[in-house]
Amino acid sequence: MRLLIFSPMTAASAIGRASGLVARSLIDQGHDVVVVRSEDLLHLDTTPRDLGVPVIRWDDEPEVQKAVRSADAVVYHVGDNYDLHRGCLEWLPRCPGIVCLHDYFLGDLFLRWAHGDRPRAISVLRSWYGDQVAGRYFSFEKPAAFVQNTAATAPMTEWVVAMANGVITHSSWGIARVLRACAGPVRVVPLPYDAPNVTPLSSPSEAAARDGLTVLTVGHVNANKRAESVIRAIGESERLRAGAVYRLIGKVDPAVEAQLAALAQRLGVSLSISGEVNDAELREALDGADIVCCLRLPALEAASASAIEAMLYGKAVIVMDTGFFHEIPGEYVLKVAPATEIPDIRRHLEHLQADPAGRAALGGRAADWAARTFRAETYAQHLAQLAVEVAAAAPALEATRYFAETLVRWGATEPFIPTADLVGPLRIFEA
Amino acid sequence: MKVLIVNNMVPFSWGGAEELAVHLEAALIKAGHEAEVLRIPFQTDPWMRIPSQMLLVHALELHNVDRVIALKFPAYLIRHPQKTLWLLHQYRQAYDLSDAGMSDIHLGKQAADLRRVIATADEEAFRSSRRIFVISEITQARLAKNNRVDAEVLRPPLNNPELFGGGTSDGYVFAGGRINAMKRQHLLVEALASTPGTVRLVIAGPPDAPKDGERLRRLVESHDLSHRVTLDLRFLPRRELAEYVNHATAVACLPYDEDSLSYVAMEASAAGKPLITTSDSGGVLGLARHLETAWVAAPDAASLAEGLSRLGTESSASLRMGAAARELWTSMELTWPDSVERLLA
């Protein structure tokens, strides 16, 4: 099978890393792969990951057209980042295919896309979420307020998956919106991820013998990552204040950095903010960490690459008991309830600080489970099977799309379309 | 030229539109063309099933066809680059009948959505048609009002004109055609109860639904009119229908706001029979001129009773009006060759 895969290829993209793993597995399984880089124009000149397959830019119209014509399946890796996924939005409506959905919240992606055509964006909002939501969608000035106010009511998941002929996503917590909007087959498959040279740089016993406790959070430092809560939890505990260092790795705005630094200083917490790092530095940071905090509120992702990576590295991981993290079995991570967030974080950190052996055992169990679960080979097999299913379903999907587009052109609104009276008689292609 | 006539189909139901389609087919063949009728199933109840039927018609693909002549909603949504419409009427339940509260499609958001869907689909079909003919000025005016479309009037000719030559009166008023509430045969029965015992009524035609026929039967019984009313409730072959018309004293025809001249009125006029109708019967009034060719009553039983009394038994007045009706009809010069020529021009 020949697959055309739209994905970011820049080294900074975790999705690019995951899609690269899948591409390699597909090749290992005998398929042909061509990659279309999906980054926005300003980011297309960065050096791509070397997958050993042909790579095309999404804005190379003739080459992409040619590749589409010769492909058995077109796959789009879509996440909530316009800089990384613009090319998917340019091609998905013209050339529907399989969407690998990395985030259940696509508000930031939509917001940037909406800059180009606000009336069309409002029409999309109206059709999926109604006039009231559409009316206030663009009124939130601060990013945190935007996420807080739209994640539950208008996550924009439907907007993307409605254009897809099939969807693979990585957890079940947001699947209802996918099933509602995508007419094609849908599968939940664990996100593939790896831990290069996973043999730890230092052994658990060496780590336990180190002075102090290093707590790490990886990713864009914003309110959703709950760094402030971790600082407050450490600040409340004399033992943690005395023995723990909290390290943040990832992009951070200067104002946020200053705010967190001031808070840590006031509470007597040892805080280290490292900004963005390369793969080697990240690996070193993970190796040096005793505990990794993967806390998100609200839940936005279909899966967390940083949580998977931390588990693969054998680290004790603390997660928020929401979304993807809620679906991780309790024996592999420690969970924090949103309602008792800071006390829970403190309790888990103190427990892990006091029990190095238990910490190592938790990390060991997590590493074993993650290595068995988040596998590129499995993902590639599912993707190839889904491509066959999508091809079989294509006539029905095209008919569905034709009927829906015609009805919308005739002025039907969303609540009118999915009624049983309307849909029932049109199920002419069902077996 | 290969001409496909596209019409709706309600299984086991046959009426004016079906007659028009088969006679148009025959006229096209007589004019040297190849012609066929494509009948597309359509049901209006429940009305939420209408959009799916619209979509299915719109999805059909036609090949090996030079011209399409489409007659009704939603059949005219079929796509073809050389499509001509000869509209009997729009789906009035979504337009004027809804405004008048005479349609189910007037309450709630879904009804509003359906009306918008029908109007938008109509306008798309009108834009994609090479010419639009309508069967009456009334349909023409509705189209202009509802959809801002200028259509040309092309009245349908009478089918089998040779059958409607007229004849001696057997002393009854004849009401033919489909039986339903909109055609108001029940009003005639109620009016008959207030007329002299010499007036007799023959109602003949297929009920749209069993309840329509049952309603009439009960009405006749409740007014104790069985000896004066003949109910021949079935689909009548053309010859039998013509016999009823040719031997009537007068013909009653009182549809609500009829779009066209109506076949019943055309057949009656061709046979030289005076008409009994009502002032709100729309296109019928093109042939029914009060005291000249017809008795045009107010749409109530009392007023109709007077018309039945005046024209229900043969008189010099009924004969004069019948002759005038035939003269008016003949002067309209509606023929199939002319119609075919205009439709294909």
Sheet with B173-176, edge to edge strand ranges:
B229-232, B201-204, B173-176, B250-252, B275-278, B294-297
**CA A381, A384, A388, A390 torsion-angle sign:** positive
pLDDT tens digit sequence for A249-302 = 999 999 999 999 999 999 999 999 999 888 888 889 999 999 999 999 999 999
Q: What is the SS3 string spanning chain A? A: CEEEEEECCECCCHHHHHHHHHHHHHHHCCCEEEEEECCCHHHCCCCECCCCCCEEECCCHHHHHHHHHHCCEEEEEECCCHHHHHHHHHHCCCCCCEEEECECCCHHHHHHHHHHCHHHHHHHHHHHHHHHHHHHHHHCCCHHHHHHHHCCCCCCHHHHHCCCCEEEECCCCCHHHHHHHCCCCEEECCCCCCCCCCCCCCCHHHHHHCCCEEEEEECCECHHHCHHHHHHHHHHCHHHHHHEEEEEECCECHHHHHHHHHHHHHHCCEEEEEECCCHHHHHHHHHHCCEEEECCCCCCECCCHHHHHHHHCCCEEEEECCHHHHCCCCCCCEEECHHHHHHHHHHHHHHHHHCHHHHHHHHHHHHHHHHHHCCHHHHHHHHHHHHHHHHHHHHHHHHHHHHHHHHHHCCCCHHHCCCHHHHHHHCCCCC
What pLDDT does residue A209 have?
A: 54
Q: Do A415 and B109 touch (CB under 8 A)?
A: yes
What pLDDT does residue A210 have?
A: 60
Could you say which residues from 104 to 163 on chain B have a Cβ atom under 8 Å away from some Cβ of chain A?
109-110, 113-114, 116-117, 119-121, 124
- The CA-atom distances, in angstroms, between B2 and each of B61, B156, B202, B271, B288 are 16, 21, 42, 35, 38
What pLDDT does residue A417 have?
A: 65
A415 touches chain B (CB under 8 A): yes
The three-state secondary structure class of B293 is coil
A116 touches chain B (CB under 8 A): no
A429 touches chain B (CB under 8 A): no
Angle formed by the axes of helices A376-409 and B50-59, nearest 10°: 100
Chosen for mutation from B79, B104, B110 (greatest number of chain A CBs closer than 10 Å) is B110
Please count the residues of chain B.
345
Please compute the mean of the pLDDT values over residues A351-380 and round it to a whole number.
96
B66 neighbors B33 (Cβ within 8 angstroms): no
Please compute the mean of the pLDDT values over residues B129-150 and round it to a whole number.
93
Please compute the mean of the pLDDT values over residues B276-293 and round it to a whole number.
95
Task: For residues A47 and A354, give the distance between their C-alpha atoms in angstroms, rounded to a whole number.
Answer: 44
Smallest CA–CA distance, residue A424 to chain B, in Å, is: 9
B287 neighbors B328 (Cβ within 8 angstroms): yes
Task: For residues B228 and B194, give the distance between their C-alpha atoms in angstroms, rounded to a whole number.
Answer: 12
- Chain A contacts of B58, Cβ < 8 Å? 406
What pLDDT does residue A415 have?
A: 61
At A200, the pLDDT band (50, 70, 90 cuts) reads low
Residue appearing with tokens 């940037």: A112
Is the pLDDT reported for residue B95 higher than 80? Answer: yes
- Chain B contacts of A399, Cβ < 8 Å? 59
Number of Cβ within a 10 Å radius of residue B29:
14
- Chain B contacts of A416, Cβ < 8 Å? 51, 109-110, 113-114, 117
The residue ranking higher by pLDDT, B114 or B265, is B265
The three-state secondary structure class of B123 is helix
Q: What is the CA radius of gyration of chain A?
A: 22
At A421, the pLDDT band (50, 70, 90 cuts) reads confident
Could you say which residues from 58 to 77 on chain B have a Cβ atom under 8 Å away from some Cβ of chain A?
58-59
Quick one: what percent of chain B has pLDDT higher than 90?
A: 79
B289 touches chain A (CB under 8 A): no
Q: Do B55 and A419 touch (CB under 8 A)?
A: no
- The CA-atom distances, in angstroms, between B210 and each of A123, A431, B201, B264 are 47, 36, 21, 22
Q: Do A412 and B58 touch (CB under 8 A)?
A: no
Angle formed by the axes of helices A227-236 and A254-267, nearest 10°: 10
Smallest CA–CA distance, residue B344 to chain A, in Å, is: 29
pLDDT tens digit sequence for A12-67 = 889 999 999 999 999 999 999 999 999 999 989 888 888 889 999 999 999 999 99
Please compute the mean of the pLDDT values over residues A360-377 and round it to a whole number.
96
Q: Closest-CA residue in chain A for B52?
A: A422
At A206, the pLDDT band (50, 70, 90 cuts) reads low
**CA B14, B17, B20, B21 torsion-angle sign:** negative
Q: Do A399 and B49 touch (CB under 8 A)?
A: no
Task: For residues B57 and B52, give the distance between their C-alpha atoms in angstroms, rounded to a whole number.
Answer: 9
Q: For the range B96-99, what are the long-range contacts, defined as Cβ-Cβ under 8 Å and sequence gap of 24 or more? A: B96/B142, B96/B146, B96/B257
Q: CB contacts < 8 Å between A and B, how many?
A: 54
What pLDDT does residue A405 have?
A: 85
The residue ranking higher by pLDDT, A429 or B89, is B89
pLDDT tens digit sequence for B167-180 = 999 999 999 999 99
Q: Closest-CA residue in chain A for B121?
A: A410
Average pLDDT, chain B: 93
What pLDDT does residue A212 have?
A: 86
pTM over 0.80: no
- Where are the extended beta strands (E) located within chain B? 2-9, 34-41, 67-72, 83-89, 131-134, 152-153, 173-176, 201-204, 229-232, 250-252, 275-278, 294-297
B94 touches chain A (CB under 8 A): no
- The CA-atom distances, in angstroms, between A165 and each of A162, A385, A398, B237 are 8, 13, 9, 54
**Which segment of A196-210, A229-243, B238-252 scores lowest on mean pLDDT?**
A196-210
Closest partner residue to B117 (CB to CB) among A403, A412, A421 is A412
Q: Do A421 and B114 touch (CB under 8 A)?
A: no
Smallest CA–CA distance, residue B3 to chain A, in Å, is: 27
Task: For residues B10 and B206, give the distance between their C-alpha atoms in angstroms, rounded to a whole number.
Answer: 13
Task: For residues B285 and B276, give the distance between their C-alpha atoms in angstroms, rounded to a whole number.
Answer: 10
What pLDDT does residue A431 have?
A: 44
Q: Do A411 and B58 touch (CB under 8 A)?
A: no
Chosen for mutation from A416, A419, A426, A428 (greatest number of chain B CBs closer than 10 Å) is A416
Given the cut 0.90, state whether the ipTM is greater than it: no
B174 neighbors B204 (Cβ within 8 angstroms): yes
Q: Do A415 and B48 touch (CB under 8 A)?
A: no
Is the pLDDT reported for residue A199 higher than 70? Answer: no
Average pLDDT, chain A: 92
Closest partner residue to B121 (CB to CB) among A410, A419, A426 is A410
Task: For residues B199 and A28, give the distance between their C-alpha atoms in angstroms, rounded to a whole number.
Answer: 94
Q: Do B120 and A413 touch (CB under 8 A)?
A: no
A225 neighbors A296 (Cβ within 8 angstroms): yes
A233 neighbors A240 (Cβ within 8 angstroms): yes
Closest partner residue to B113 (CB to CB) among A399, A403, A412 is A412
**Which segment of A192-206, A226-240, B23-37 scores lowest on mean pLDDT?**
A192-206
